[in-house]
């Protein structure tokens, strides 16, 4: 809302400086956004919150100033002279849609002479940046910016049968507005019609046909209360926002219709002459009665944290337009003014008294009681995850939660149900390369596709060694829950090879639980390479998936090189996490290390070989370490491999003897030979 | 070849090697000598070893023993030369061939996303002030996102065009949440977490909730349809605006690393009354910090608290704005593009 300094002086004596005024207004709720010098005036831009429609007019702002500076407020009392002919002889108004229009008033002025509005009025409107039209239209604008009530003037001759019908728009109905564009209306919108067609879109804009022009002689003045929601949805659907719709959307003062109507008539008579017909047409429901509100003084201290002198309270409320009904040493009861529909409870009055008294007087150094906070386990787990991954050289990414369909379908290991669909798409979140992929309106069921897109972006920007991770929720619909499942996942995408990334996953699990070990099992996921992939398990819980991105998926995601992806359920990881590690005694005796080199079939998996090695070795076996695999078809024949590994034995009780070690080795050799047809080399 | 000749050759080699090693003036010369005598393929000891095949069978064992002895003595000579040279260089002689100014082996420490870094810092500060982090679902129902927060049905914030309302596609149950009385949507604010916590906890409550929130703005330099918020909530007996102002001042001063003035000025939010906007004074001007206020009695009642017995304050801040100001990031979209050159800066 832009207010003019000069205009404000009409209602309050501005003895303060401009800077002092805007500071106090800011600190009492009208945030100062800037001031422009216009001719000999200041155009002051104030931010008005949506509950304060009363401050969308100069009088409302002046009332705030009067309360803040404890000075008188002068509001004009318009008493336009009327003729003897009565409006009811010439005009009628019917409200067919009470939901859209609670109250409608009309006055009629006959014999006006259209011309320029007075200089003072033009100057004030120009200060606000409002275009000048003629003495009738300018007067309606002037009164709107004076009191916040939008008004409309019709060329009465253009209203068929002198009738006004307030109704819902009909299907397919069209309407040409003052901007000379034709709008397609829809049921639910409120139109003002004569006995023929729509002449105005209620609360939004007048019609071209009935607009006041040079040829206008008689004008009908509309002052009405339109339903905020109806006006807002019509203005939004038609993209037709006006100062009128802005005010109706925020609830105008339905008790002020008559004042505004009289005021504009008075101004028109002054500058355009003519005769105001006797009486007013006033249809619809009378405004609801206003209920008194009781404010206990103790609430001020309790909620504001400062003591406000009791004798400050009632006068302040009065300055703001409340009428005091009664008061005693504990409380005051007052009826709020019609323009403050937001004041219905004691806490609303606490705010009023507090903001006029000054929030700057509230201390910022009180004793807030101490309280110990704690960090939830999930938080600490995610922190550890991030520490391991950054130490491993992975950078963290943050990507949007909604994805287009091809990405949504590309990888859905956690869930078979179709994704949740959003009513609104996310706009502007895809890079140009990906614009044609689809509408971004599906809630993702995996983080991996989003990370593959990030990888592609980095590939295209020639960024080398891209290793990224993200922790975020995925959204899994389920029929049996009110709110869909939204588990936290961790996903990785890496330039490194399969085992380098697997090593990171293993290190991650070890960090969270030194005793846990990840197993990998075969899986079938189209996104992943058939052999370089697997499902990750922790005991009997599925931890996630990892694998090399398949050739076809690389093509789909526009990747120029190989990528390994991982996705892990952070809930499972959290469940397995041991935040407090336990000590075990370290053996003081030396280890015995033995290397083995076995020839075996390619089909033998390391995991099963390792379990054979461990199976009968007992507590003396300290560790098994895989060393390498190599193949020598010339010597070993086709389909064979040599697997080298090293085993460390150690006792907690004594130094192992050669014979003990020998016996353990022999057991390993025997078991490996019988379980895997493995042959020991040399 | 007679064993005598073989032994003679071995001894001559040992003498020569000893001489070469002891005369080596630096590690390069020593290395050349090592290759000459001890080289694994073409070293002279290796070549001499081949002559052993020509030694008569019954003397092979003696020859072998001699070979081993000589091999050990040459190795010893090499090692003593090596230690002589290395102790010489530690005695203050600089080897110009060693360029300590060459770069170290590249070692990349991964970077946390600047949003995460900002969140961690804010969470940390709030933790020190006694606020425990709380989590809540991102998919919320209408009740928790609006109704319980005192946002009436006609409020502009509930416009379907301004929210991501959700529906389930082609399921057998045909459960279209947008049509039901309590539709699902992606939360438009983290205040929803306050409701869920208060529904399940009796006062006193002191929490901080953080996370993703969603509003369908088209992405541009300053908007993104997904962003992050942090919200603090404190409910107890007699919690007032003075407590709020005190906590905000500690919070801002901690975050900015210096004691800063904080002011609150009236504003409007459906879920607080009084509602305030908080600013901090930095670099000669007031900078918007975030929205705050005393929790509206309707909100307290919605979660089963008695507004006559307890009161509370709440405040909410946009993480992206704080993060962008702090790191001088000029376009919010950079945060979600994840170009590694961008990420490596933080």
Domain end marker among A576, A609, A641: A576
Predicted pLDDT at B11: 87
What does the pLDDT look like over B198-225, one tens digit per residue? 999 999 999 999 999 999 999 999 999 9
For helices A297-304 and A346-357, give the axis angle rounded to 10 degrees.
70
Predicted pLDDT at B70: 87
Set of chain A residues whose Cβ sits within 8 Å of the Cβ of B126: 373
Residue range of the domain that includes A343 = 293-361
Does residue A251 belong to any structural domain of this protein?
Answer: yes
**Which residue from A263, A245, A168, A171 is spatially nearest to A206, judged by alpha carbons?**
A245
Predicted pLDDT at B177: 46
**Which residue from A416, A475, A410 is spatially nearest to A442, judged by alpha carbons?**
A475
Are residues A110 and A104 in contact, defined by beta-carbon separation less than 8 angstroms? no
| Whether pLDDT at B180 is above 70 | no
| Whether pLDDT at B89 is above 70 | no
What does the pLDDT look like over A253-296, one tens digit per residue? 999 999 999 999 999 999 999 999 999 999 999 888 999 999 99
**Which residue from A532, A608, A612, A600 is spatially nearest to A566, judged by alpha carbons?**
A532
Predicted pLDDT at A565: 98
B133 at the A interface (CB within 8 A)?
A: yes
Average pLDDT in chain B: 89
Mean pLDDT in residue range A21-38: 95
Predicted pLDDT at B170: 52
Residue A335 shares a structural domain with residue A395: no
In our burial notation (b when 16+ CB lie closer than 10 A, e otherwise), range B232-264 reads bbbbbeebbbbbbbbbbbbbbbbbeeeebebbb
Q: Which CATH number goes with the domain that contains A642?
A: 3.30.70.380
Q: Which CATH number goes with the domain that contains A333?
A: 3.30.56.10
- Which domains, from first to last, does chain B contain? 3-89 (no CATH), 114-137+188-343 (3.30.930.10)
Q: Do A421 and B168 touch (CB under 8 A)?
A: yes
Residue A402 shares a structural domain with residue A494: yes
**Which residue from B42, B15, B111, B54 is spatially nearest to B340, judged by alpha carbons?**
B111
SS3 letters for chain B? CCHHHHHHHHHHHHHHHHHHHHHCCCHHHHHHHHHHHHCCCCCHHHHHHHHHHHCCHHHHHHHHHHHHHHHHHHHHHHHHHHHHHHHHHCCCCCCCCCCCCCCCCCCCCCCCCHHHHHHHHHHHHHHHCCCEEECCCCEEEHHHHCHHHCCCCCCHHHCHHHCCEEEECCCCCCCCHHHCCCCEEECCCCHHHHHHHHHHCCCCEEEEEEEEEECCCCCCCCCCCEEEEEEEEEEECCCCHHHHHHHHHHHHHHHHCCCCCEEEEEEEECCEEEEEEEEEEECCEEEEEEEEEEECHHHHHHCCCCCCCCEEEEEEEEHHHHHHHHHCCCCCCHHHHCCHHHHCCC
Give strand pairing partners of A542: A537
Of residues A325 and B70, the one with the higher pLDDT is A325
Residue A116 shares a structural domain with residue A255: yes
Which CA distances in Å does A435 have to A338, A427, A440, B64?
52, 10, 10, 78
Residues in Cβ contact with A60 at an 8 Å cutoff, skipping those fewer than 6 apart? A52, A54, A147, A148, A339
Residue A596 shares a structural domain with residue A570: no
Residue A542 backbone phi and psi in degrees, to 5: -80, 120
Name the residue in chain A with its Cα closest to that of B249. A364
Of residues A615 and B90, the one with the higher pLDDT is A615
B336: closest CA of chain A, how far (Å) = 6
- List A residues 432-491 in contact with B (Cβ-Cβ < 8 A): 443, 454, 457-458, 461, 463, 465-469, 472-473, 475, 477, 479, 482-484, 486
The string of DSSP codes covering A210-267 is: T---TT---EEEEEEEE-HHHHHHHHHHHT---HHHHHHHT---GGGHHHHHHHHHHH
Q: Which of A342, A383, A395 to mutate to test binding with chain B, by most B CBs within 10 Å of its CB?
A: A395
Residue A443 shares a structural domain with residue A536: yes
| Whether pLDDT at B93 is above 80 | no
What does the pLDDT look like over B300-314, one tens digit per residue? 999 999 999 999 999
Does residue A371 belong to any structural domain of this protein?
Answer: no
Q: In the structure, what pLDDT confidence band is assigned to residue B42 with cuts at 50, 70 and 90?
A: confident
How large a percentage of chain A has pLDDT more than 70?
A: 100
Are residues A59 and A146 in contact, defined by beta-carbon separation less than 8 angstroms? yes
Question: CB B157: neighbour CB atoms within 10 A?
Answer: 17
**Distance in angstroms (rounded) separating the CA atoms of residues A135 and A142:** 10
A421 at the B interface (CB within 8 A)?
A: yes
Q: Which of B155, B274, B277, B333 to mutate to test binding with chain A, by most A CBs within 10 Å of its CB?
A: B274
| Whether pLDDT at A340 is above 60 | yes
Q: In the structure, what pLDDT confidence band is assigned to residue A327 with cuts at 50, 70 and 90?
A: very high
| Whether pLDDT at A352 is above 60 | yes
Token digits for A222? 């509309």
| Whether pLDDT at B169 is above 70 | no
**Which residue from B216, B192, B207, B225 is spatially nearest to B320, judged by alpha carbons?**
B225
Token digits for A562? 């190989």
Residue A391 shares a structural domain with residue A493: yes
Burial status of residue A390 (CB atoms within 10 A of its CB: 0-12, 13-18, 19 or more): middle
Which among A232, A305, A463 has CB closest to B243?
Answer: A305
- Give how many domains chain A has, as a whole number: 5
| Whether pLDDT at A248 is above 70 | yes
Q: Do A483 and B137 touch (CB under 8 A)?
A: yes
Does residue A150 belong to any structural domain of this protein?
Answer: yes
Nearest 5 degrees, angle CA A421-CA A422-CA A426? 125
Predicted pLDDT at A478: 79
Token digits for B187? 């939360």
Does residue A372 belong to any structural domain of this protein?
Answer: no
SS3 letters for A648-669? EECCCCCCCCHHHHHHHHHHHH
**Which residue from A645, A644, A648 is spatially nearest to A593, judged by alpha carbons?**
A648
Q: In the structure, what pLDDT confidence band is assigned to residue B176 with cuts at 50, 70 and 90?
A: very low
pTM of the model: 0.85
Residue A186 shares a structural domain with residue A317: no
Domain end marker among A519, A550, A576: A576
Set of chain A residues whose Cβ sits within 8 Å of the Cβ of B264: 359, 362
**Distance in angstroms (rounded) separating the CA atoms of residues A407 and A220:** 60
**Distance in angstroms (rounded) separating the CA atoms of residues A524 and A537:** 15
| Whether pLDDT at B178 is above 50 | no
Q: Do A29 and B266 touch (CB under 8 A)?
A: yes
First to last CA, chain A: 93
Q: Of the ranges A36-40, A209-213, A345-349, B49-53, which one carries the lowest mean pLDDT score?
A: B49-53
The stretches of A472-624 forming alpha helices (DSSP H) are 498-512, 551-556, 570-576, 606-615
Average pLDDT in chain A: 94
Mean pLDDT in residue range A627-655: 94
Domain end marker among A69, A102, A121: A69
Predicted pLDDT at B88: 59
Which CA distances in Å does B201 have to B72, B77, B292, B305, B313?
80, 80, 22, 10, 16
Does residue A214 belong to any structural domain of this protein?
Answer: yes
Are residues A532 and A498 in contact, defined by beta-carbon separation less than 8 angstroms? yes
Four-point Cα dihedral A617, A623, A628, A633, nearest 10: 0
Residue A354 shares a structural domain with residue A384: no
Set of chain B residues whose Cβ sits within 8 Å of the Cβ of A369: 236
**Which residue from A497, A506, A487, A552 is spatially nearest to A525, judged by alpha carbons?**
A552
| Whether pLDDT at A383 is above 90 | yes
A513 at the B interface (CB within 8 A)?
A: no
B314: closest CA of chain A, how far (Å) = 13
Predicted pLDDT at A30: 96
Does residue A584 belong to any structural domain of this protein?
Answer: no
Name the residue in chain A with its Cα closest to that of B240. A303
**Distance in angstroms (rounded) separating the CA atoms of residues B187 and B144:** 9
Which CA distances in Å does A308 have to A305, A332, A533?
9, 14, 71
- List B residues 97-116 in contact with A (Cβ-Cβ < 8 A): 107-113, 115-116
Residue A154 shares a structural domain with residue A177: yes
A351: closest CA of chain B, how far (Å) = 5
Q: Do B245 and A354 touch (CB under 8 A)?
A: no
The string of DSSP codes covering A377-402 is: HHHHHHHHHHHHHHHTTPEE----SE
**Distance in angstroms (rounded) separating the CA atoms of residues B48 and B51:** 5
H or E segment and range at residue A456: helix A448-460
Token digits for A646? 């090293």
| Whether pLDDT at A465 is above 80 | yes
| Whether pLDDT at A233 is above 70 | yes
Which among A303, A393, A468 has CB closest to B240?
Answer: A303
**Which residue from B146, B144, B174 is spatially nearest to B160, judged by alpha carbons?**
B146
Token digits for A533? 């992939």
Residue A201 shares a structural domain with residue A250: yes
Token digits for B296? 């509206």
Residue A482 shares a structural domain with residue A549: yes
Q: Do A429 and B206 touch (CB under 8 A)?
A: no
In our burial notation (b when 16+ CB lie closer than 10 A, e otherwise), range A29-46 reads bbbbeebeebeebbbbeb
Does residue A444 belong to any structural domain of this protein?
Answer: yes
Which among A304, A375, A392 has CB closest to B110?
Answer: A392
Q: Which CATH number goes with the domain that contains A382?
A: 3.30.930.10
Does residue A218 belong to any structural domain of this protein?
Answer: yes
Residue A231 shares a structural domain with residue A265: yes
| Whether pLDDT at B181 is above 90 | no
| Whether pLDDT at A178 is above 70 | yes
Set of chain A residues whose Cβ sits within 8 Å of the Cβ of B204: 371
Are residues A53 and A250 in contact, defined by beta-carbon separation less than 8 angstroms? yes
Name the residue in chain A with its Cα closest to that of B115. A398
Mean pLDDT in residue range A640-654: 95
Of residues B147 and B64, the one with the higher pLDDT is B147
């Amino acid at each position: 809302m832009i207010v003019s300094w000069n205009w404000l002086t009409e209602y309050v004596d501005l003895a303060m400086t401009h800077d002092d005024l805007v500071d106090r207004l800011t600190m009492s709720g009208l945030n100062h956004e800037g001031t422009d010098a216009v001719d000999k005036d200041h155009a002051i831009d104030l931010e008005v919150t949506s509950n304060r429609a009363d401050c969308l007019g100069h009088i409302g702002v002046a009332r705030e100033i009067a309360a803040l500076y404890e000075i008188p407020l002068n509001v004009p009392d318009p008493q336009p002279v009327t003729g003897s002919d009565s409006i009811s002889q010439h005009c009628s108004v019917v409200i067919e849609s009470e939901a859209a229009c609670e109250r409608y008033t009309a006055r009629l002025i006959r014999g006006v002479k259209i011309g320029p509005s007075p200089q003072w009025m033009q100057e004030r409107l120009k200060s606000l940046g409002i275009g000048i039209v003629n003495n009738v239209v300018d007067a309606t604008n002037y009164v709107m910016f004076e009191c916040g009530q939008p008004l409309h003037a019709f060329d009465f001759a253009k209203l068929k049968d002198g009738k006004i019908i307030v109704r819902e728009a009909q299907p397919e109905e069209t309407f040409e507005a003052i901007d000379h564009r034709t709008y397609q209306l829809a049921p639910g919108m409120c139109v003002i019609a004569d006995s023929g067609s729509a002449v105005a879109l209620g609360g939004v804009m007048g019609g071209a046909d009935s607009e006041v022009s040079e040829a206008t002689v008689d004008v009908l003045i509309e002052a009405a209360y339109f339903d905020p929601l109806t006006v807002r949805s019509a203005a939004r659907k038609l993209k037709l926002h006006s100062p009128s719709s802005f005010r109706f959307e925020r609830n105008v003062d339905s008790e002020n219709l008559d004042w505004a109507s009289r005021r504009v008539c008075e101004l028109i008579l002054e500058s355009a002459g003519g005769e105001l017909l006797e009486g007013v047409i006033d249809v619809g429901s009378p405004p609801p009665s206003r209920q008194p509100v009781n404010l206990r003084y103790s609430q001020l201290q309790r909620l504001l944290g400062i003591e406000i002198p009791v004798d400050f309270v009632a006068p302040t409320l009065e300055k703001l337009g409340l009428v005091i009904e009664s008061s005693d040493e504990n409380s005051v009861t007052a009826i709020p003014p019609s323009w403050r529909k937001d004041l219905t409870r004691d806490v609303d009055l606490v705010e009023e008294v507090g903001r006029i008294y000054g929030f700057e007087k509230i201390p910022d150094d009180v004793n807030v009681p101490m309280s110990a906070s704690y960090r939830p386990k999930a938080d600490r787990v995610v922190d550890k995850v991030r520490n391991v991954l950054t130490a491993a050289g992975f950078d963290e990414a943050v990507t949007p939660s909604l994805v287009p369909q091809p990405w949504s379908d590309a990888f859905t290991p956690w869930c078979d149900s179709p994704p949740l669909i959003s009513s609104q798409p996310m706009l502007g979140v895809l890079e140009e390369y990906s614009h044609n992929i689809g509408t971004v309106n599906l809630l993702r069921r995996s983080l991996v596709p989003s990370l593959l897109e990030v990888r592609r972006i980095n590939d295209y920007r020639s960024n080398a060694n891209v290793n990224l991770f993200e922790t975020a929720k995925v959204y899994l619909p389920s029929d049996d829950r009110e709110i869909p499942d939204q588990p936290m996942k961790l996903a990785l995408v890496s330039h490194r090879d399969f085992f380098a990334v697997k090593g990171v996953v293993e290190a991650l699990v070890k960090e969270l639980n030194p005793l846990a070990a990840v197993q990998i099992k075969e899986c079938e996921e189209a996104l992943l390479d058939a052999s370089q992939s697997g499902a990750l398990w922790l005991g009997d819980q599925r931890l996630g998936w990892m694998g090399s991105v398949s050739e076809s998926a690389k093509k789909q995601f526009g990747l120029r090189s190989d990528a390994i992806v991982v996705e892990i359920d952070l809930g499972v990881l959290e469940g397995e996490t041991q935040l407090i590690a336990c000590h075990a005694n370290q053996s003081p005796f030396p280890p015995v290390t033995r290397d083995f080199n076995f020839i075996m079939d390619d089909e033998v998996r390391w995991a099963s070989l390792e379990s054979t090695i461990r199976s009968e070795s007992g507590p003396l076996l300290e560790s098994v370490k895989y060393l390498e695999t190599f193949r020598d078809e010339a010597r070993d024949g086709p389909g064979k491999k040599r697997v080298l590994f090293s085993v460390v034995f150690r006792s907690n009780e004594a130094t192992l003897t050669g014979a003990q070690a020998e016996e353990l080795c022999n057991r390993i050799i025997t078991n490996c030979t019988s379980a895997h047809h493995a042959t020991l080399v040399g | 070849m007679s064993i005598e000749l073989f032994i003679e050759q071995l001894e001559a080699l040992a003498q020569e090697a000893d001489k070469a090693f002891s005369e080596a003036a630096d590690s390069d010369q020593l290395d050349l000598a090592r290759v000459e005598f001890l080289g694994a393929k073409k070293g002279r000891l290796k070549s001499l070893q081949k002559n052993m095949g020509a030694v008569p069978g019954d003397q092979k064992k003696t020859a072998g023993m001699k070979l081993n002895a000589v091999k050990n003595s040459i190795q010893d000579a090499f090692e003593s030369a090596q230690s002589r040279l290395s102790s010489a260089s530690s005695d203050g002689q600089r080897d110009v061939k060693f360029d300590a100014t060459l770069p170290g082996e590249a070692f990349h420490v991964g970077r946390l996303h600047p949003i995460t870094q900002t969140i961690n810092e804010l969470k940390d500060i709030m933790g020190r002030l006694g606020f425990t982090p709380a989590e809540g679902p991102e998919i919320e129902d209408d009740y928790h996102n609006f109704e319980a927060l005192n946002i009436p049905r006609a409020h502009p914030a509930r416009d379907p065009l301004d929210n991501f309302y959700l529906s389930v596609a082609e399921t057998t149950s045909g459960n279209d949440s947008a049509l039901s009385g309590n539709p699902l949507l992606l939360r438009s604010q983290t205040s929803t977490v306050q409701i869920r916590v208060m529904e399940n906890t009796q006062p006193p409550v002191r929490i901080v909730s953080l996370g993703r929130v969603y509003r369908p703005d088209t992405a541009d330099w300053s908007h993104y349809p997904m962003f992050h918020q942090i919200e603090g909530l404190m409910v107890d007996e007699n919690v007032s605006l003075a407590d709020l102002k005190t906590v905000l001042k500690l919070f801002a001063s901690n975050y900015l690393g210096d004691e800063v003035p904080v002011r609150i000025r009236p504003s409007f939010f459906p879920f607080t009354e009084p509602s305030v906007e908080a600013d901090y004074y930095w670099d000669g001007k007031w900078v918007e910090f975030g929205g705050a206020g005393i929790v509206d009695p309707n909100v307290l009642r919605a979660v089963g608290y008695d507004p006559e017995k307890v009161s509370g304050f709440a405040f909410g801040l946009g993480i992206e704005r704080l993060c962008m100001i702090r790191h001088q990031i000029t376009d919010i979209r950079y945060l979600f593009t994840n170009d590694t050159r961008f990420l490596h800066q933080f």
